[in-house]
A and B are shown apart, each in its own frame.
Chain A
C-alpha cells in the first residue's frame, strides 16, 4: 500500500483543520430529501455501471475493464466529493448522499469484483486473479489519495 506523500502530510498538518462551523457534528437523521438523494444518485450510478457491463462483456479470464474502470473512477470521485463537502463547502443535507453514497456507491461495486476473482480462480488464472485484486486496491487507494490532494491543494492556494 502506498504511503501518503510527504508533501500531502505537510498540507494536512498546515491549517486544514475543519472550520468551526463543522465542529458541531449535529447531522440530522435521514429525512425525505436525504433518502431521495441516495436513491437518485444510486439509480444513476447503477445505470452507468450496468450499461458498461452490458456493453463490454468479457470472458472469465480477461481483464474486467468495465468493473475496474467504474471502481477506480468512483473512488476518485468519492474522494473528491467527500473532501470538498467536508472541508470546503457549507454543510449540506443532500449533496453527500446524492454524490457520495448514491452516485459513487452505485457506480462502484465490491461484489462483482469478488465474483470476477472467484471466476478467475475457477479457471486457474492465478496470476490474473492476484493482479486484478492488487491493481484494483492500489489504483483505488491512489485515486482517493489523488482526488483528496487535488481538493486540498486548491483550497490551500485560495487562502
Chain B
C-alpha cells in the first residue's frame, strides 16, 4: 500500500460520498420523503456491487480502492439508523421496522447475488 493508493482512497471516498448525496436527492425527488427510500436504494445497490467485486479476483489495492473506498463510502449505516430512529420518534413504527427488515433482507440478498455473479465472470 503506497501513498498513491491512499491518495486514491481519499479522492474516491469523497467521490463516493458525493454520489450518495446526489442519488439520495434524486430518489427523494421522485419518491418523496415519507419513507427513506433513497438510503435503501443506495445501500442495496451498493451491496450488490460490493458482492460482485468480492467475487472477482481483485488485488488488495484494487479491493481497497473499489470496494472499501468507493462502494463503502457510497453506502451508509449511520443515515440508515438515523432515519429509522427519527421514524420511531414520529411514532411511525411500521415504517421503522420495514426500513430495518427490508434493507437488511435485500442487502444480504443483493450482496450474495452480486458475489455469485462475480464468481462466474
Q: In the complex, which residues of chain B have a beta carbon less than 8 angstroms from the beta carbon of A35?
A: 18, 21
Is B78 in contact with chain A by the CB < 8 A criterion? yes
SS class, residues of chain B in contact with chain A = helix
Q: In the complex, which residues of chain A have a beta carbon less than 8 angstroms from the beta carbon of B85?
A: 79, 141, 144-145, 148
Report B47-81 CB contacts with A as 1/0, cut-off 8 Å: 10111001000000000100111011111111111
Question: Knowing A53-B68, A109-B72 touch, does A118 contact B25 (C-beta < 8 A)?
Answer: no
What residue of chain B has the Cβ atom nearest to residue A143's Cβ?
A: B81
Q: Are A43 and B17 in contact (CB under 8 A)?
A: yes
Report A79-97 CB contacts with B as 1/0, cut-off 8 Å: 1001000000000000001
Q: Are A50 and B9 in contact (CB under 8 A)?
A: yes
Q: Are A46 and B80 in contact (CB under 8 A)?
A: no
Q: Are A41 and B17 in contact (CB under 8 A)?
A: yes
Q: How many residues of B contact A (CB 8 A)?
A: 54
Q: Are A141 and B47 in contact (CB under 8 A)?
A: no
Docked pose: A104 CA to B104 CA in angstroms: 20
Most-contacted residue by chain B among A106, A133, A141 (CB, 10 A)? A106
Q: In the complex, which residues of chain B have a beta carbon less than 8 angstroms from the beta carbon of A4?
A: 88-89
Q: Are A71 and B78 in contact (CB under 8 A)?
A: yes
Docked pose: A71 CA to B75 CA in angstroms: 11
Q: Which residues of A contact B (CB under 8 A)?
A: 1, 3-4, 12, 30, 35, 38-47, 49-50, 53-54, 71, 74-75, 77-79, 82, 97, 100-102, 104-115, 117-118, 121, 133, 136-137, 140-141, 143-145, 148
Q: Which residues of B contact A (CB under 8 A)?
A: 1, 6, 9-18, 20-22, 25, 43, 46-47, 49-51, 54, 64, 67-69, 71-82, 84-85, 88-89, 96-97, 100, 103-104, 107-108, 110-112, 115
